Amino acid sequence: MKIEDGAGTGRLAQVDTSQRLQVNSISSDRAESANISKEAFVLSSGTFSIGAAAEYKVFYLSNGEASRDLVIDIVRLSSNAGTASNTKPTFVKTYINGSIPTTNSVAKDPIGTNTETGQSSTEFIVWDGVATGFVQVAAGDLVSTLIIPLGTTDTRIPSKSIIGPSKTLTYSFECEAAAKVTMQVYIHLL
């Protein structure tokens, strides 16, 4: 919550003729102010076709800041639940502190949610569609496994996860049948 003066003068407070304090409170959070200051971003993996019953690492995110945190506001996952029957659950795994992908990957620019040029220190790498996901020397530690429910093509997870300076996240997808998957992450610097 942010307090603003009722007159819009820039002063912290003002009194009216009855000596009552004139203030307004408005709903605001760090994500909103980060967008205004060009420090909020969307990371989008595009749509990938993954094979059956194999784990595909498709998404790598690195906080390149030396002293600032990266806050994940929302993770948006989509799967068609298997191209043959559309009835298979899709598993999504998250790893922390994996190494930068060495092969089968391509770097992408984060998309600034502000229409002006952004100033991100976020490294964003996605699978290039070759083999079964990109290759890393160190996979990192498994943080979570989640299942995209059957019949759900778009799952939005308000996460508010915080990635410290120089930390990384890797996301992978797996489905019992060949499937199409995609992912978007909404983040801001703190």
Q: Give me the torsion for CA of 67, 73, 45, 50, rounded to 10°.
A: 120
What percent of the chain clears pLDDT 70, i.e. is strictly above it? 71
Across 11-20, 52-61, 176-185, least confident range? 11-20
pTM beyond 0.75: the answer is no
Class (C level, CATH) for 39-189: mainly beta
CATH 2.60.120.680, the chain: domain bounds: 39-189
